[in-house]
Structure 1
Amino acid sequence: MHVVPIASLAAALALAGSALAADAGSKRPNVVIIMSDDQDRLLGSMDYMPVLQKELMGNGVEFENHYGTISNCCPSRASFLRGQAAHSTNITHVRPPGGNYDKWRLAGEDKNYLPHWIKKAGYKAEYVGKFLNGYSQVNYHIPPKGWDHVDALIEPYINDYNNVVMSQNGERPVQYRGFHSNDVTDPLANTKTSIDRLDRLLDAEDPFFLAVMPYAPHVSGDKPPTPQARHADKFPDAKAPRFANWNPSDEIQKTKSVFLKDMKLMDSEAEASADRLFLGRIRAIQGVDEIIEDVLAKLEEKGQLENTYVIFTTDNGYHIGAHRLPGGKALPYIQDTNLPLAVRGPGIPRGVKSKVASAHLDFAPTFLDIMGLDKKEWPEFLDGRSLLEEWKKPVPEAKPEIGSAKEIINIEFWGDKVVEIPEYKGMKLSNNSYKTLRIVSEESSWMFLNWCTNEMELYNITADPWEINNLAYGEVTPEHQRLINRLNSILMVTKSCTKDSCRDPWSALQPPEAQSRVSSLEAAMAPEHDEFYETFPKVHFGRCMQYQDEANEQPFWPPGAENDLGKAHRQPTDNWVSSNKGKPGVKPNAEPAGGPEQRHATMEQLMADTHVLTDDETGPLVPAEED
Structure 2
Amino acid sequence: MYLYAVQRSHRWLVSQSHIVLLSIMHLKLIYQLGGLIPLCTSIGAQAQRPNIVFIMTDDQDLYLNSLDYQPAVKRELIGKGTTFSRHYVTVAKCCPSRASLLRGMAGHNTNITEVNAPGGNWDKWLISGQNEDYLPHWLTAAGYNAECMGHIITKLPYIGKIMNGYNTANYAQRPAGWTHIQTAVDQYTYEYNNVVFSLDGNTPVSYPGYHQSDVIRAMSVDRIEELSAQDKPFFLGIAPTSPHMEPGGGKWPVPPVRYKDKFPDLKAPRAANWNPNDTYQQQKASWVKGLPLLNETTIERLDGLYRARAQSLLGVDDIVEDVIAKLAEKNILDNTYIIYTSDNGWHIGNHRISAGKSLHYKEDSNVPFIVRGPGVPANITSLLPGAHLDLAPTFLDIAGVKPDDPGYPQFLDGRSLLDNWKNPATELTQCPVNGGGHEVINVEYWGIGEEASPWGQISHPNNSYKTLRIVHPDGGTYLYSKWCTGDTELYETASDPGELTNRALNADEDEDISRLLSRLNALLMAAKSCAGDTCRNPWSLLQPEAERRAIPAQANLTITCLEQALEPKFDDFFASVPEVSFEKCMAYQYRPNEMPYWPENVDLGEAYRKPTDNYISSSPKGEKVVSQGFFGTVTQRNVMLSEILKTAKELTPEQLG
Q: TM-score normalised to the size of structure 2?
A: 0.87
1:206 equivalent in alignment to 2:232: yes
1:360-397, CA deviations, whole angstroms, 9 ceiling, x for partnerless residues? 00000000000012532211100000011111111115
Matching of residue 493 in structure 1 with residue 532 in structure 2: no
Q: Check the 8 A contact 1:122/1:206 in 2, yes or no.
A: no
Residue aligning to 2:118: 97
Report deviation, 1:559. 2.2
Q: Counterparts in 2 of 1:158-169, with a 5 A limit? A: 158-169=189-200
State the partner residue of 1:248.
Answer: 276
Q: Tell me if the contact between 1:402 and 1:521 (Cα under 8 Å) persists in the aligned partners.
A: no
1:459-494 per-residue CA deviation (whole Å, 9 max, x = no partner) reads: 000110110100112554211110010000010011
Q: Which residue of 1 aligns with 2:639?
A: 601
Q: State how far apart, in whole Å, the 2-side matches of 1:127 and 1:189 are.
A: 9
Counterpart in the other structure of 1:8? none
Structure 2 unaligned residues grouped into runs of 5+: 1-42, 145-154, 549-555
* C-alpha distance in 2 between matches for 1:498 and 1:275: 42
Partner of 2:542: 509
User: 2:529·2:599 contact (CA, 8 Å) conserved in 1?
Assistant: no
Letter of the 2:534 partner, please give it.
S
1:150/1:169 contact within 8 Å kept: yes
Q: CA deviation digits over 1:151-187, x for unaligned, max 9?
A: 0010101111010001000111111000001111114
Aligned partner (choices 483, 501, 520) of residue 561 of structure 2: 520
Matched residue, 2:18: none
Alignment of 1:184-333 (within 5 A): 184-187=215-218, 191=222, 199=226, 204-221=230-247, 222=249, 223-333=251-361
2:261 alignment partner AA: D
1:360 aligns with 2:388: yes
For 1:497 and 1:276, locate their aligned partners in 2 and report how far apart those are by CA, in whole Å: 42
Distance 1:44 1:202 in 2: 34
- Flag structure 1 segments of 5+ consecutive residues without an equivalent: 1-21, 620-627
Does 1:129 pair with 2:135?
no
> How far does the alpha carbon of each residue in 1:385-438 deviate from its partner, in whole angstroms, 9 at most, with x for none?
001111111111553338741110000000002211332x24210110000000
| Structure 2 CA distance for aligned equivalents of residues 558 and 243 of structure 1 | 41
Q: Which residue of 2 aligns with 1:614?
A: 652
Greater relative contact order (CA < 8 Å, ≥ 6 in sequence):
1
Does residue 457 in structure 1 map to residue 489 in structure 2? yes
Aligned to 2:571: 530
Give the equivalent residue in structure 2 for 1:47.
68
Preserved CA contact (<8 Å) 1:187 1:295: no
Change (3 A) 1:166 1:483: same
Evaluate the alpha carbon distance shift between residue 426 and residue 217 of structure 1 in structure 2; reply closer, same or farther with a 3 A threshold.
Answer: closer
CA distance in 2, matches of 1:535, 1:228: 58
Whole-angstrom CA distance in 2 between matches of 1:268 and 1:585: 37
Secondary structure at 1:33's aligned position in 2?
Answer: strand
Shift of 1:45: 0.2
- Identity among equivalent positions (%) equals 46
2:45 and 2:411 map into 1 onto residues whose CA distance is: 34
Shift in alpha-carbon separation, 1:460–1:586, aligned structure 2, 3 A? same
- 2:116 is the counterpart of 1:86: no
Distance in 2, matches of 1:78 and 1:261, equals 30
Distance 1:357 1:308 in 2: 22
Distance 1:175 1:398 in 2: 50
Match of 1:543?
A: 584
Aligned alpha-carbon RMSD (Å): 2.0
Q: Secondary structure at the match of 2:327?
A: helix
Q: Which residue of 2 aligns with 1:376?
A: 406
- In the TM superposition, residue 263 of structure 1 has moved relative to its aligned partner by 0.9
The DSSP-based 3-state class of the residue aligned with 1:579 is coil
Equivalent position amino acid for 1:538 in 2: E
- Aligned to 2:132, which of 103, 111, 120? 111
Report the Cα distance in structure 2 between the residues aligned to 1:157 and 1:402, rounded to whole angstroms.
48
CA contact (8 A) 1:306 1:346 kept: yes
Q: Structure 2: how far apart are the matches of 1:257 and 1:584?
A: 43
**Counterpart AA for 2:593:** N
Partner secondary structure for residue 629 of structure 2: coil
Secondary structure, aligned partner of 1:171: coil
Q: Quick one: which of 427, 443, 455 aligns to 1:411?
A: 443
Partners of 1:239 and 1:586 lie apart in 2 by: 35
Q: How many residues align?
A: 589
User: Which structure 1 residue ranges, 4+ long, deviate > 6 Å from structure 2?
Assistant: 22-25, 513-516
What is the alpha-carbon distance in structure 2 between the residues aligned to residue 579 and residue 382 of structure 1? 29
Contact 2:80 2:379 in 1 (8 A): yes
- 1:145 alignment counterpart: 176
Taking structure 1 as the reference length, the TM-score comes to 0.91
Distance 1:559 1:35, change over 3 A: same
The correspondence for 2:516, drawn from 447, 460, 483, is 483
| Residue pair 1:190, 1:600 contacting (<8 A) in 2 also | no
1:49-99 residue CA offsets vs partner (Å, 9 max, x unmatched) = 111111111111100000001000000000010000000000000001100
Other structure's SS at 1:418 match: strand
SS of 2:592's equivalent in the other structure is helix
Larger displacement relative to structure 2 (514-523 or 322-331)? 514-523
